[in-house]
Structure 1
Amino acid sequence: MRILYINHYAGSPQHGMEFRPYYLAREWVKAGHEVQIVAADYSHLRQHNPQLDSNYADQDIDGIRYTWCRTPRYEGNGLKRVINIFRFLGRVMGLSGRYLKSWRPDVVIASSTYPLDTVPAAFIAGKTGARLVYEVHDLWPLTPVEVGGMSPRHPFIRLLQWAENFGYRKADTVVSMLPCARDYMMAHGMAAEKYRVIPNGVDVAEWQGASEALPAQHREALAALRAQKRFIVGYAGGHGLANALDFLLDAATQLGDAPVSVVLVGDGPDKAALQARAQQLGLGQLQFLPAIAKRAVPAFLAECDALFIGWRKLPIYRFGINPNKLFDYMMAGKPVIHSVEAGNDIVAEAGAGISVAAEDAAAIAGALRRMAALTPNARGRMGAAGKAFVLAHHDYAVLARRFLQGL
């Protein structure tokens, strides 16, 4: 089978996020399929963007043919990002002759975060007789409206809404990463039988391979806490508003003399403010450590007794959440403290830890104390349940097979 995967922000191990298109495509290549990914050369998500001397460049990465499309740089979510989007869409249309003549796909996947790529994807699928798949990451334009505060009457939002509805009507299959979005999608034109949930996942082989050692600073900090017989709660990831770490700080103020230490590893726009606030509050039980390489994350998680992930209380989460960080936590076999209000709760479903309300510092503090009071065997059972759940439901080898079934 020939699979054309259109994803504006697709990444790879060489370039950085986002990884889902790479992991799925790699599994399809292993199964004998031909896969071509079309992506923009500039994405705000990647650590390293490809450098192009012309409008297009092809690159082979682990048997996947990437076609990079030259687009202008941008910062933030203003006009320059919109220009970047439309330039990419134009480049995809410019490639359509290749797919109509020399490499005719059997499946075309429209997978950019925004829904406008459904239009060139539908054009290529219609001309080649390929099946059209609309893969939905976030609900656009609902996310820019509810989270970003944009007006539903804004011309760009109206255009996005038209494109989303077009995708639901036109696609043969709608693959949703959000497990609770079926009714919303049906209200916007999707037939019920089109709906498939294929969540995010984890590369199990990557986890089972040799991990990178922790930097000396991190090893020494964790060893010192161990020597003091502290219960270590870890956090690995971005230090941004969406991660609700300010409520974790508030929770720490309520721990009293409980022998619990929280170690936060990562970087982000709010890290300096969080550090300043922790110092102001006198939170000696919190430590902020620098970001580490992706391959060193398993080594950090292994040194923790439990792990924390938190969410803002946002209405958009009613359609479900799909956090890659959580799958890493569960693969580490560690119990999870989950502060959440959403349409689904993977931690509760798997029996992998303690779930409490979002934006509730008292509840988070209570969960920290309860987790520390459990026996190592009880925490071990939670961690084992989480890992088993990920292996059964979120291994990319499993997800890739499920994606193609019935297409």
Structure 2
Amino acid sequence: MRILYLNHYAGSPKHGMEYRPYYLSREWLKSGDKVNILAASFSHLRQNNPRDLPGLFGEEEIDGIIYSWYATPKYAGNGIKRVLNIFAYLFQVWNMSRFFVNKWTPDVVIASSTYPLDIYPARFIAKHAKARLIFEVHDLWPLTPVEVGGMSPRHPWIWLLQKAENFAYKVSDAVVSMLPCAKEHMVAHGMAPEKFHYVPNGIVVSEWENATATLPDEHAALIERLKSEGRFLVGYAGGHGLANALQELLKAADWLRDAPVSFVLVGDGPDKMALEQMARDLGLDHVHFLPAVSKAAVPALLSRMDALFIGWRKLPIYRFGINPNKLFDYMMSARPVIHSVDAGNDSVREADAGLSVAAEDPAAIAEAVRQLMAMTPEDRQRLGENGKRYVLENHDYRVLAKRFQKLFKANAAK
């Protein structure tokens, strides 16, 4: 199979997030498939964006995967510059569409750029190449900008995105959703029910089995000191932004200032300075902030914690489900998870991998910490092992890639 994968924000181990297109493609290559990923040269998600393109287009091969990079302007935030970045990418993919029809001739075309506008060039290529068209949904746009970003449903940008989403559900041969509870919404917008397929995010087992990276000295020294003092360590690793509900974790820490527990928050993000100031204002000496660690060092970090925290804001959009990579990393570490969430699904509860409490409820978070501290190490280990087993069974990219491939083979049977 020749697979053309349109993903504006696609990354790689060389560039950083997002990793899903790379990991799926790498598995497909093992089956003899060929993959060409079409991506923008600039993404706010990547740590390293491609540089020095020879004009408006550049191509490189990464672990057997062809990456076609399209020159796009830089942006910050969600303003007009990001919109210009999107249209620069789409315009150039349109310009190259006949090349892919006539020269590359894919068997499968995947439209997967979060925003649904890439369905138009993807449909053109798939139709003229007689390829199967798959629409891959990360987030529900334009519903997310409306419900989370506060944009008016009557805004021209939202109207344009809505037309594209409806068109995608109508013309795609299959719809792959990373959100487990989104089927009803998609059907309401024109998708035939049988098109729906749930393929969540995942983990690469070998990255955990072969993990040898050690922690930076600063991190190792703090953890060692806290352990020697007999502290119960609650860890968080990831972005420090509004969506992560870390303010609620600090409020919970305020409830636990007299308990032998310490909170270790590792990462960076737009709200980190405000969170550090909040901890100082509350006098939370048992809350510690550390810089982000490399992806390779995440297993070493998480395994040193006694429990791990992940939180969410109380937002209606989560009724369609959540699918965070960070949670799967947590569960792979075999540590119990405190999950503060109100959503359509809850992997921690399903797996019996920790304690789930309501979103934005510091008292409930504090009580969950107390409950885990009161458990025996064996009981906490049982919860952790439940989570690891659940991820291996349901979120191994080797399993997910094969599930995706079944949709490719459906085309061959036509």
Give the alignment's TM-score, normalised by structure 2: 0.97
After TM superposition, the structure 1 = structure 2 runs for residues 218-233 of structure 1, keeping only pairs within 5 Å, are 218-233=219-234
Q: Which residue of 2 aligns with 1:77?
A: 78
| TM-fit CA distance, 1:280 | 1.1
Matched, 1:17 2:27: no
Q: Which residue of 2 aligns with 1:130?
A: 131
- Report the RMSD for the aligned CA atoms in angstroms: 0.8
| TM-fit CA distance, 1:53 | 2.5
Distance 1:93 1:34 in 2: 21
Matched, 1:49 2:49: yes
Moved runs in structure 1, 4+ residues, more than 4 A? none
| TM-fit CA distance, 1:211 | 3.0
* Matched AA of 2:354: G
| TM-fit CA distance, 1:77 | 0.9
Q: Which residue of 1 aligns with 2:261?
A: 260
Equivalent position SS for 1:174:
strand
Q: Which residue of 2 aligns with 1:399?
A: 400
| TM-fit CA distance, 1:3 | 0.5
After TM superposition, the structure 1 = structure 2 runs for residues 322-337 of structure 1, keeping only pairs within 5 Å, are 322-337=323-338
Distance 2:211 2:352 in 1: 28
* Matched AA of 1:41: S
| TM-fit CA distance, 1:182 | 0.3
Distance 1:100 1:182 in 2: 31
* Matched AA of 1:250: K
- CA shift digits 1:93-128 (9 cap, x unpaired): 111122111111010000001000001000000001
| TM-fit CA distance, 1:256 | 4.3
Distance 2:255 2:78 in 1: 38
Distance 1:394 1:230 in 2: 32
- CA shift digits 1:137-169 (9 cap, x unpaired): 000000000000111001110000000000000
The unaligned stretches of length 5 or more in structure 2 are none
Distance 1:211 1:342 in 2: 35
Distance 2:256 2:80 in 1: 46
After TM superposition, the structure 1 = structure 2 runs for residues 371-386 of structure 1, keeping only pairs within 5 Å, are 371-386=372-387
Matched, 1:156 2:152: no
Matched, 1:352 2:353: yes
Distance 1:376 1:157 in 2: 51
After TM superposition, the structure 1 = structure 2 runs for residues 19-38 of structure 1, keeping only pairs within 5 Å, are 19-38=19-38
Q: Which residue of 1 aligns with 2:214?
A: 213
Q: Which residue of 1 aligns with 2:100?
A: 99
What percentage of aligned pairs have identical amino acids? 64
- CA shift digits 1:200-246 (9 cap, x unpaired): 00111111113311011111101111111111111000111100000
Distance 2:59 2:404 in 1: 25
Equivalent position SS for 2:255:
coil
The unaligned stretches of length 5 or more in structure 1 are none
Matched, 1:243 2:208: no
Distance 2:257 2:62 in 1: 52
Equivalent position SS for 1:57:
strand
Q: Which residue of 2 aligns with 1:303?
A: 304
Matched, 1:278 2:279: yes
* Matched AA of 1:89: L
Indicate if the aligned counterparts of 2:211 and 2:299 stay in contact, CA closer than 8 A.
no
| TM-fit CA distance, 1:295 | 0.7
Indicate if the aligned counterparts of 2:257 and 2:284 stay in contact, CA closer than 8 A.
no
Equivalent position SS for 1:95:
helix
Q: Which residue of 2 aligns with 1:200?
A: 201
* Matched AA of 1:399: L
Distance 1:182 1:396 in 2: 22
Distance 2:77 2:290 in 1: 26
Q: Which residue of 2 aligns with 1:177?
A: 178
* Matched AA of 1:17: M
Equivalent position SS for 1:102:
helix
Matched, 1:289 2:290: yes
